[in-house]
């Protein structure tokens, strides 16, 4: 397992874990949403870095490179990630809308205060 | 022209119809009638697709390349016996629940948002049907997220009844997004290994690799194992399998009643379908169950789900919450059948997809009727209602019998297959768990039945009428199906056997 | 924020260029990096910049709610309509050769361009709508006057604007 050759995996995993940390550890809902967004960004970077062809150019037809596919970076991962980014933006938008509604309904976006309010409701 | 394009019509009709619905604010009665008509049309298309697939020789499938791009390069919509069966389940439940939901939605959703609610409802149905019909791995992720986003919105619409719907939806957003992201990583690894996104094509590449591993050539083995791990974790979250089920109880409890009915009957079934598809068709049964311990892990999670879900259900006083934990237990049954991975066990799992869908859908619709008349669904609200709301409570009892697995209900058919599968494989722990699950189900169902029939109403002077006819008819259609297919299970047995053969597991 | 003359002038100058660049990214998407989603987001960011500096009321005067809803629907209708047109013409869904049966290559270009326009409109209007809905009631309606005033109605914004204008000269000279 080469450490140097697979540095893109390490960076992607690092980003994913940094993003997952606020989701688990921070009580503020907005921080959780930001962490989720960071987690997904790490996944996207991982995907795109996988498509890179060393010594290849951008996947736009370029006369000197000819029609040899090995000379071009793979464009499918970027197309997939574009869709993934749209999904991530939509998820963040829905999550933020719910967070705004929670703020209007509870008056706070801190998870522990919300849980206490729920417990008081039940009793 | 329509016959050739059925696989794609089943998605674009609800999608375009949902768009039209979102602009119908000025026409108050239009939204429900339009949405009901669309769901019945989609059900007809799903039935037509299933009949066409069953007419093909065993293992045959309908292939629809989108945009006429040739198959491994373009997105393919692929319907075989398993797909077709799940499509009919989802479309049928959607049609029946939508038909009965009008009064319940008018009572629980503010009037100026109902057209938007119906629009998101159709988008959710589009996503669920799309996951079922597609044959392209990344398309699964996209449609999964469409369905999930619509579900998060639908659950959050319960906020006018109880603000806890918002926190339930938030929890579901976080967990669901993590699950979907894991699925995305898994698909990425599979793409890395095979260079294609078409599920059948990935399967072929993986077969070549797997036979190479048996010769000792270990290329890409670690990648495929990692892909397997990520995919299974993601699917377990979407399926609400035991340790990662925590989004389910709150989401089902605080969502509006028709939303609970639709979700309980369809969302987890589609999650189960996609797990079957990836474990058997894409990754291969021999890899998943012999090389990787998928069978053992899923079996353990399933047994734990049955026992823990039923146990926690017995301690709930909110009936919707009790049914939600019961759903966790029933998903455990499906997981036990999947973990056994022999033909009888798999047939039990697949037939339980159908049986649980109609039973749970009927139960939640009965609760929609109770919620409409009584304003709530705790034990206090149903106390003594046996005489006042006879048909609704009879439906509840019949559905409860289905959950327990009493003979003459469809639950018995599934339990029979699952037990046979467990004994065939000499997995006596699962057999014991299945029987214990039924006993615990008696516990939580009888608790409610006792309060309904054997206690006087909390306020005897209050005038409580039977649930409205529309909700009642929809409830009894589903509960009636549960009873009918418990007595005459020929159709479901035939369909599930064809589905098991389509997965490549021969009896 | 409209108090700050640099922001005001810069936003006003940049917005048309941002919008035109966004349109370029949408149009040119099939032969250069870009396409529907990217261009749509750039167009939306032009509108949102205007809304941040000048206030929600002014932005809703430029893009009224009915217009953003209509363009949203029009975009999706364009995309799905292209596909359905191909379906009705006897080909498969989104099979662009239906658009120009004599030359499939041109059909592909026409189809992809229509689809990208549709996606661009929808994405731009969705982003503007998200910004509107989430910022309603939290961002000052008249762009603010240095101190936080929230939810001034639009008629009050006009009066507030005139009242502020004589005052804009005051802080720099006072400082």
- C149 within domain boundaries: no
Q: Is B269 within 8 Å of B331 (Cβ atoms)?
A: no
Helix (H) or strand (E) holding B62: strand B62-65
Residue A78: name the closest of A118, A117, A47, A37 by CA: A47
Total domains in the fold of chain C: 1
Which tens digits make up the pLDDT trace of B375-385? 888 888 888 88
| Residue C126 with chain B: CB contacts under 8 Å | none
- A20 within domain boundaries: yes
Nearest to A47 among B163, B170, B188 (CB): B188
- C170 within domain boundaries: no
- A77 within domain boundaries: yes
Which tens digits make up the pLDDT trace of B256-300? 999 999 999 999 999 999 999 999 999 988 888 888 888 899 999
Per-residue confidence (pLDDT) for residue C143, from 0 to 100: 53
Mean pLDDT of the region B35-51: 94
Residue B86: name the closest of B114, B41, B141, B49 by CA: B49
Q: Is B473 within 8 Å of B362 (Cβ atoms)?
A: no
| Residue C79 with chain B: CB contacts under 8 Å | none
What's the pLDDT band for A90 if we cut at 50, 70, 90?
Answer: very high
- In terms of DSSP bridges, do strands B62-65 and B76-79 run parallel, antiparallel, or are they unpaired? antiparallel
State the Cα–Cα distance between residues B240 and C13, nearest whole angstrom: 52
| Residue A121 with chain B: CB contacts under 8 Å | 164
Which tens digits make up the pLDDT trace of C58-87? 888 988 988 988 898 889 989 988 988 888
Residue B80 CB coordination number (10 Å): 23
List the subunits that have 3+ CB pairs under 8 angstroms with C.
Answer: A, B
Q: Angle at Cα B361 formed by Cα B129 and Cα B258, nearest 5°?
A: 80
C83 in B contact zone (CB under 8 Å)? yes
- A92 within domain boundaries: yes
Which residues on neighbouring strands pair with residue B136, listed in sequence order?
B198
**How far is CA B331 from its chain centroid?**
9
State the Cα–Cα distance between residues B221 and B234, nearest whole angstrom: 20
| Residue A96 with chain C: CB contacts under 8 Å | 134
Contact between A60 and C32 using a beta-carbon 8 Å cutoff: yes
Kindly report the CATH number assigned to the domain that includes residue A88: 1.10.287.3510
State the Cα–Cα distance between residues C97 and C110, nearest whole angstrom: 10
- A16 within domain boundaries: yes
**Which residues fall within 8 angstroms of residue C137, CB to CB, at 6 or more apart?**
C150, C151
Q: Is B177 within 8 Å of A98 (Cβ atoms)?
A: no
| Residue B177 with chain A: CB contacts under 8 Å | 36, 40, 91, 95
Domain that holds residue C45: 5-144
Q: Is B456 within 8 Å of B387 (Cβ atoms)?
A: no
Which residues on neighbouring strands pair with residue B378, listed in sequence order?
B318
Q: What is the largest CA-CA distance in chain C?
A: 74
Domain that holds residue A67: 7-122
Report CA torsion sign: B50, B51, B54, B55: negative
Phi, psi of B63 (to 5 degrees): -120, 130
- C157 within domain boundaries: no
B167 in A contact zone (CB under 8 Å)? yes
Among chain A residues, the shortest Cα distance to B192 is held by A50
Contact between A43 and B184 using a beta-carbon 8 Å cutoff: yes
A30 in B contact zone (CB under 8 Å)? no
In this predicted structure, the answer to whether residue B224 has a pLDDT above a threshold of 70 is: yes
State the Cα–Cα distance between residues C138 and C144, nearest whole angstrom: 11
Residue C76: name the closest of C33, C124, C38 by CA: C124
- C165 within domain boundaries: no
Give the 3-state secondary structure of A31-75: HHHHHHHHHHHHHHHHHHHHCCCCCCECCCCCHHHCCCHHHECCC
DSSP string over A4-39: TTTHHHHHHHHHHHHHHHHHHH--BHHHHHHHHHHH
State the Cα–Cα distance between residues C58 and B216, nearest whole angstrom: 70
- The answer for B241, left when phi > 0, alpha when psi is -120 to 50, beta otherwise, is beta
- A2 within domain boundaries: no
The interface predicted TM-score (ipTM) is 0.93
State the Cα–Cα distance between residues B242 and B331, nearest whole angstrom: 8
Helix (H) or strand (E) holding B77: strand B76-79
| Token pair recorded at residue B252 | 């089902």
Q: Is C137 within 8 Å of A99 (Cβ atoms)?
A: no
Q: Angle at Cα B259 formed by Cα B139 and Cα B236, nearest 5°?
A: 45
A87 in C contact zone (CB under 8 Å)? no
Total domains in the fold of chain A: 1
State the Cα–Cα distance between residues B433 and B339, nearest whole angstrom: 13
State the Cα–Cα distance between residues B489 and B333, nearest whole angstrom: 19
Per-residue confidence (pLDDT) for residue C118, from 0 to 100: 92
- C169 within domain boundaries: no
- C127 within domain boundaries: yes
Based on the number of CB atoms within 10 Å of its own CB, is C103 exposed (0-12), middle (13-18) or buried (19 or more)?
A: exposed
Q: Tokens 């062809």 map to which residue? A: A53
Q: Is B64 within 8 Å of C92 (Cβ atoms)?
A: yes
State the Cα–Cα distance between residues B276 and B281, nearest whole angstrom: 8
| Residue A97 with chain C: CB contacts under 8 Å | 130, 133-134
Nearest to C133 among A60, A85, A97 (CB): A97
Contact between A102 and B153 using a beta-carbon 8 Å cutoff: no
In this predicted structure, which of B109-113, B282-286, B500-504, C162-166 has the lowest mean pLDDT?
C162-166
State the Cα–Cα distance between residues C24 and C31, nearest whole angstrom: 12
Q: Tokens 């109770």 map to which residue? A: B370
| Token pair recorded at residue B379 | 């034990």
What's the pLDDT band for C105 if we cut at 50, 70, 90?
Answer: confident
Which tens digits make up the pLDDT trace of B304-353? 999 999 999 999 889 999 999 999 999 999 999 999 888 999 999 999 99
- A110 within domain boundaries: yes
Q: How far is A97 from chain C (nearest CA, A)?
A: 7
Mean pLDDT of the region B418-426: 91
**Please, what is the end-to-end C-alpha distance for chain B in angstroms?**
37
**Which residues fall within 8 angstroms of residue B61, CB to CB, at 6 or more apart?**
B53, B78, B79, B80, B83, B502
Per-residue confidence (pLDDT) for residue A60, from 0 to 100: 76
- A1 within domain boundaries: no
Percent of chain C with pLDDT over 70: 76
Residue B179: name the closest of B150, B148, B221, B208 by CA: B148
Nearest to B23 among C73, C93, C96 (CB): C73
Residue B249: name the closest of B177, B155, B348, B355 by CA: B155
| Residue A91 with chain B: CB contacts under 8 Å | 145, 149, 173, 177
- C156 within domain boundaries: no
- A46 within domain boundaries: yes
Residue C40: name the closest of C89, C5, C75, C8 by CA: C75
In this predicted structure, which of A35-39, A92-96, B231-235, C108-112 has the lowest mean pLDDT?
C108-112
Say what the pTM is.
0.90
């Amino acid at each position: 397992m080469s450490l140097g050759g697979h540095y893109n995996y390490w960076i992607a995993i690092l980003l994913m874990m940094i993003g997952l940390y606020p989701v688990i550890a921070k009580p503020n809902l907005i921080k959780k949403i930001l962490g989720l967004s960071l987690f997904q960004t790490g996944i996207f970077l991982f995907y795109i870095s996988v498509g890179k062809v060393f010594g290849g150019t951008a996947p736009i037809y370029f006369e000197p490179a000819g029609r040899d596919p090995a000379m071009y970076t793979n464009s499918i991962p970027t197309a997939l990630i574009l869709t993934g980014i749209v999904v991530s933006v939509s998820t963040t938008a829905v999550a933020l809308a719910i967070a705004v509604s929670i703020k209007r309904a509870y008056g706070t976006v801190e998870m522990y205060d919300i849980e206490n309010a729920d417990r008081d409701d039940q009793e | 022209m329509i016959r050739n394009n059925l696989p794609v019509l089943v998605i674009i009709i609800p999608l375009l119809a949902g768009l039209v619905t979102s602009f119908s604010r000025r026409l108050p009665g239009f939204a429900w009638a339009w949405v009901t008509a669309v769901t019945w049309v989609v059900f007809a298309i799903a039935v037509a697709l299933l009949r066409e697939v069953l007419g093909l020789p065993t293992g045959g499938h309908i292939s629809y390349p989108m945009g006429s791009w040739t198959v491994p390069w373009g997105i393919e919509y692929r319907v075989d016996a398993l797909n077709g069966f799940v499509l009919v389940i989802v479309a049928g439940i959607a049609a029946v629940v939508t038909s009965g939901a009008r009064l319940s939605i008018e009572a629980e959703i503010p009037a100026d948002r109902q057209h938007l609610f119906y629009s998101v409802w159709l988008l959710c149905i589009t996503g669920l049907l799309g996951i079922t019909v597609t044959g392209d791995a990344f398309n699964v992720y996209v449609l999964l997220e469409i369905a999930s986003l619509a579900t998060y919105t639908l659950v959050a619409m319960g906020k006018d009844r109880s603000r806890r719907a918002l926190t339930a939806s938030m929890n579901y957003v976080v967990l669901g997004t993590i699950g979907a992201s894991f699925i995305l990583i898994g698909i990425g690894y599979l793409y890395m290994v095979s260079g294609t996104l078409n599920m059948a094509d990935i399967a072929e590449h993986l077969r070549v690799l797997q036979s190479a591993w048996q010769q000792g050539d270990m290329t890409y083995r670690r990648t495929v194992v990692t892909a397997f791990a990520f995919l299974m974790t993601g699917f377990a979250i979407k399926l609400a399998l035991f340790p990662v089920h925590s989004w389910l109880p709150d989401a089902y409890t605080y969502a509006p009643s028709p939303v609970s009915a639709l979700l309980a009957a369809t969302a987890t079934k589609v999650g189960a379908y996609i797990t079957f598809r990836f474990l058997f068709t894409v990754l291969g049964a021999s890899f998943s169950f012999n090389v990787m311990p998928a069978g053992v892990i899923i079996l353990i999670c399933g047994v734990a789900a049955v026992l823990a879900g039923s146990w926690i259900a017995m301690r709930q006083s909110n009936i919707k919450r009790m049914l939600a934990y019961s759903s966790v237990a029933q998903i455990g049954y499906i997981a036990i059948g999947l973990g056994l991975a022999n033909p009888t066990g798999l047939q039990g799992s697949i037939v339980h997809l159908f049986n649980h869908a109609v039973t749970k859908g009927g139960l939640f619709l009965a609760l929609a009727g109770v919620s409409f008349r009584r304003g709530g669904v705790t034990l206090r609200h149903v106390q003594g209602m046996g005489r006042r709301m006879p048909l609704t409570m009879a439906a509840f009892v019949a559905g409860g019998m289905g959950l327990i697995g009493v003979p003459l209900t469809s639950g018995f058919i599934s339990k029979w297959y699952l037990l046979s599968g467990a004994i065939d494989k000499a997995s006596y722990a699962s057999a014991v768990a299945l029987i214990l699950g039924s006993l615990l189900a008696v516990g939580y169902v009888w608790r409610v039945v006792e309060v309904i029939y054997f206690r006087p109403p909390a306020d005897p002077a209050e005038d409580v009428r039977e649930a409205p006819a529309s909700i009642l008819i929809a409830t009894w259609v589903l509960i009636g199906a549960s009873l009918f297919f418990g007595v005459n299970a020929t159709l479901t047995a035939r369909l599930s056997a064809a589905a098991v053969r389509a997965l490549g597991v021969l009896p | 924020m409209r108090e700050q003359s640099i922001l005001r002038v810069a936003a006003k100058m940049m917005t048309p260029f941002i919008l035109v660049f966004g349109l370029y990214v949408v149009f040119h998407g099939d032969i250069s990096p870009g396409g529907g989603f990217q261009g749509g987001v750039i167009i939306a960011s032009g509108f949102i910049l205007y809304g941040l500096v000048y206030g929600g009321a002014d932005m809703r005067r430029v893009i009224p709610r009915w217009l953003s809803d209509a363009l949203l629907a029009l975009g999706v209708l364009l995309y799905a309509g292209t596909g359905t047109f191909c379906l009705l013409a006897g080909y498969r869904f989104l099979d662009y050769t239906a658009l120009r049966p004599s030359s499939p290559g041109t059909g592909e270009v026409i189809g992809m361009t229509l689809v990208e326009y549709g996606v661009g409109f929808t994405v731009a209007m969705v982003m503007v709508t998200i910004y509107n809905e989430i910022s309603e009631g939290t961002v000052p309606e008249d762009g603010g006057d240095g101190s936080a005033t929230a939810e001034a109605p639009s008629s009050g914004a006009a009066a507030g604007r005139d009242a502020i204008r004589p005052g804009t000269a005051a802080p720099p000279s006072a400082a």
